[in-house]
Amino acid sequence: MAKNIVHKILEAHLVSGTLNPGSEVGISIDHTLIHDATGTMALLQFEALGIPRVKTKRSVAYIDHNTLQTSFENMDDHRFIESACRKFGIYVSRPGNGICHQVNLERFSVPGDTLLGADSHTTTAGGVGMLAIGAGGLDVAVAMAGGPFYLSMPRVLKVELKGALPPWSSAKDVILEILRRLTVSGGYGKILEFAGAGVKSLSATERATIANMSIESGAFTAIFPSDEVTRRYFQAQARGEDWQRLEADRDAVYDEEMVLDLSSVEPLIAKPHLPDNVVPVKEVAGKPVDQVAIGSCTNSSLEDMLKVASILKGHVVPPGVSLIVSPGSRQVLLELAERGALSQMIAAGARILESTCGPCIGMGQAPCSKGVTLRTFNRNFKGRSGTADALIYLVSPETAAASALRGVIADPRDLGDPVAATLPERFLVDDSLIMPPRPEERETEIVRGPNIQPLPRFDALPEELEGEVLLMAGDNITTDDIIPGGSKILPLRSNIPAISRYVFSQIDANFVNRAEQRGGGFILAGRNYGQGSSREHAALAPRFLGVRAVLAQSFARIHRANLINFGILPLEFVNEDDLKRFSPGDQLRIGNLIALLAEGKTLLLENVTQGFVVETYLDLSQRLREVILAGGLLEYTRENSKTGPQEGQR
């Protein structure tokens, strides 16, 4: 039977299961990706598994998130990562080398291979034909140890692209249009596979932009063919040997299809506070802006930066507008300097930041109170910028630059003739800030600063769960809502007791005290609970506080997996309207748990306070039942590999 790209890669990596939508499959992982916001915990978890060296083709750690060194924690974590990577055989991309997804695209991506990354935007590598999936750090640690990655077999959504983009429209506008159609949950359970004649009109980095933001639809990932455009990109990166052609068969079968005529795409903008709140730029044009931020893993390629420099050339941003530019990698920064584009940006009044995630994760450059900030980033969740009442809009680099010059939201088409970016036949390749693995050194000492705390140990699932409703939340609760980012909290990622003090701090300042006083309990929420970042701390920290079950109308994929990984039951209401029957403080009980899990998918939840019972749904494979019963994936994996606690865990 003719095959699509997704099925070709999955078949080549299949360890267990069958490729029937909804069934659990296990796949082998070729590459892994961690960074300094997820990597400390992932490395502690890998260490706890007792495996001396990683078993993947290649694993890379990037220092690109927590680089704002306002105290000792971040640099201590960097020292820990570098020493642990020497011990375990992992590449390190040093501070200043760039954002993980941009550097991975340039230097490490391989068409046809699998990549599991402890970051939701690992999907970026799908732009060059890699099956790249974001996951929690514990899943990545298990993959580094040689274990399969398990997923519920996705449906494959064919996105057929026709035509070519008109002047001033960009790849960012393409993915915003897709999000407008799918919403932030419409891609759940799917992989987006791009096809059609329009694909050939998009460069490799334009495809990467689209793949990057596919996760905002709730999809597993997105993937493009690896074709002549991809080959030219790999040759320009002096990596022609890593390229291979990878395309769907002519009569490939898909589960769903969407058609998008690129010629109909106009400049778009996502209004606060969700990436799917998309309208044409012209509808909000004229609104004054306070800040414009250009960069992030979505739009920081050389192609994007050259277009921005061309728009800014010969102009100066007006008073009252702060223009921030963060190139995606050291390679991009060197290219901009070599071509004079960097000086054009500086002359226009742009503030050049280091090549890191920076303001995208609230790590500096917070806008003013009630400020309007236009960002070429991938998320505009409330408070994510570091300013609780700021209004965050997502736009293309072209719209961002045009708006910075006008001081108001501006349609770039009003600038006249479009700008173009001429990419080099050979990029400036300099890998001197990438530390390759050393030969095995069993005596390598892992450097642990005081912020590196031991992993908490969790007990197995009890026969009965009882506790009160600690929090009732609405739809689209993000992992930022559960564990905020920013320069105050992100440095605590390797210190679970410390970071747990901030659980739900932006929603309910008393949550932590209440959870501790009650000895844990339940969280209730609406649809799409846990969307956004892959941060496993949004499951790990509540578990540390005693939360053993979350009841929601639906869950985002990565967060649901993270809850299971840490022994928290992700229960869905059989009848969504049942959520309305509960109140904060209600005492809840689930009895006969272990037997019910063995029997099927329905668990009866008793509201002891109000005296009623509702049905909840928990769809688990046999393997996931065993993970839950063991108290989490780390305990399950250790039991099955017969290893005990290692250094760094007690």
Tell me how many domains the chain contains: 3
**What are the φ and ψ backbone dihedral angles of 13, each rounded to 5 degrees?**
-120, 10
Residue 240 and residue 176 in one domain? yes
Do 473 and 561 reside in the same domain of the chain? yes
- Determine, yes or no, domain membership for 435: no
Q: What is the pLDDT of residue 563?
A: 96
pLDDT for 377 beyond 70: yes
Structure tokens at 471: 């929090």
Classify residue 241 as exposed, middle or buried by CB count within 10 Å of its CB (0-12, 13-18, 19+): exposed
Query: Where a domain ends, among 385, 412, 439?
Result: 412
CATH number at residue 547: 3.20.19.10
- What is the edge-to-edge ordering of all strands in the sheet holding 434-435? 131-134, 114-117, 31-35, 58-62, 91-93, 434-435
Q: Which long-range contacts (CB under 8 A, 24 or more apart) does 436-444 make?
A: 436/91, 437/85, 437/86, 437/89, 437/90, 437/91, 438/86, 438/89, 440/52, 440/53, 440/89, 441/86, 441/87, 442/52, 444/83, 444/86, 444/87
pLDDT digits (tens, 9 = 90+) for 130-167: 999 999 999 999 999 999 999 999 999 999 999 999 99
For strands 91-93 and 58-62, give the pairing: parallel
Does residue 328 contact residue 99 with C-beta atoms inside 8 Å? Answer: yes
Quote the DSSP letter at residue 154.
P
Least confident interval from 111-115, 161-165, 366-370, 570-574: 366-370
Rounded-to-integer distance, Cα 544 and Cα 563, Å:
12
| Strands in 91-198 per DSSP E | 91-93, 114-117, 131-134, 149-152, 155-162, 190-195
| Least confidently predicted of 198-207, 236-245, 384-393, 406-415 | 384-393
Note the pLDDT of residue 441: 65
* pLDDT above 50: residue 606: yes
C-alpha–C-alpha distance, residues 98 and 164, integer Å: 30
Are 86 and 211 in a shared domain?
yes
Last residue of a domain, one of 264, 296, 314: 264
Q: Which residue stretches of 340-457 are H helix?
A: 341-347, 397-406
Write the pLDDT tens digit of every residue in 192-232: 999 999 999 999 999 999 999 999 999 999 999 999 999 99
* Coil/strand/helix, residue 246: strand
For residue 642, the model assigns a pLDDT of 55
Tell me the C-alpha distance between 329 and 304, whole Å: 12
Confidence of residue 1 (pLDDT cuts 50, 70, 90): confident
Domain-embedded: residue 438: no
Q: Which residue range forms the structural domain that includes residue 327?
A: 268-412
Does residue 258 share a domain with residue 291? no
Q: Label residue 648 by pLDDT band (50, 70, 90).
A: very low
pLDDT recorded at residue 527 = 93
The CA distances from residue 605 to 519, 553, 559, 591, in Å, are: 19, 14, 22, 8
% pLDDT > 90, the chain: 78
What sections of 14-93 are H helices per DSSP?
A: 39-48, 72-88
Integer Cα distance of 102 and 119 in angstroms: 13
Q: Are residues 353 and 235 in the same domain?
A: no
Confidence of residue 592 (pLDDT cuts 50, 70, 90): confident
Residues 260 and 272 in one domain: no
Token pair in block for residue 141 = 């640690």
Same domain, residue pair 275 and 255: no
Whether residues 493 and 378 fall in one domain: no
Residue 325, strand partner residues: 294, 352
Q: How many CA atoms lie within 13 A of 384 on its CB side?
A: 27
Last residue of a domain, one of 236, 264, 292: 264
Mean of per-residue pLDDT scores for the chain: 92
Strands in 322-325's sheet, in edge-to-edge order, are 278-280, 268-270, 391-394, 372-375, 291-294, 322-325, 351-352
221 domain residue, yes or no = yes
Could you count the other beta carbons within 10 Å of the beta carbon of residue 18? 9
Decide if pLDDT at 650 tops 60.
Answer: no
For residues 308 and 293, give the distance between their C-alpha atoms in angstroms, rounded to a whole number: 11
What would the pLDDT profile of 91-111 be if each residue is shown by its tens digit?
999 999 999 999 999 999 999
408 and 479 share one domain:
no
Structure tokens at 28: 């082998």
Structural domain includes residue 58:
yes
HSE of 90, CA atoms in CB hemisphere, 13 A: 34
- pLDDT class for 645, splitting at 50, 70, 90? very low
With cut-offs at 50, 70 and 90, classify the pLDDT of residue 649.
very low
User: Do residues 243 and 280 both lie within one domain?
Assistant: no
549 pLDDT higher than 80: yes
pTM for the predicted model, two decimal places? 0.91
Give the Cα separation of 90 and 53 in Å (integer). 8
Residue 153 lies in a domain: yes
Is position 425 within any domain? no
Tokens of 650: 């007690």
Of 52, 231, 19, 251, residue with least CA distance to 146: 52
The pLDDT, as a whole number, for residue 647 is: 38
Give me the sheet containing 149-152, strands edge to edge: 14-16, 24-27, 149-152
Clarify whether residues 550 and 625 are in a common domain.
yes
Q: Please indicate, yes or no, if residue 490 is contained in any of the structural domains.
A: yes
Give the separation between CA 152 and CA 374, rounded to whole angstroms.
36
- Same domain as 299, residue 180: no
Q: Is 430 a domain residue?
A: no
**CATH no. for residue 32?**
3.30.499.10
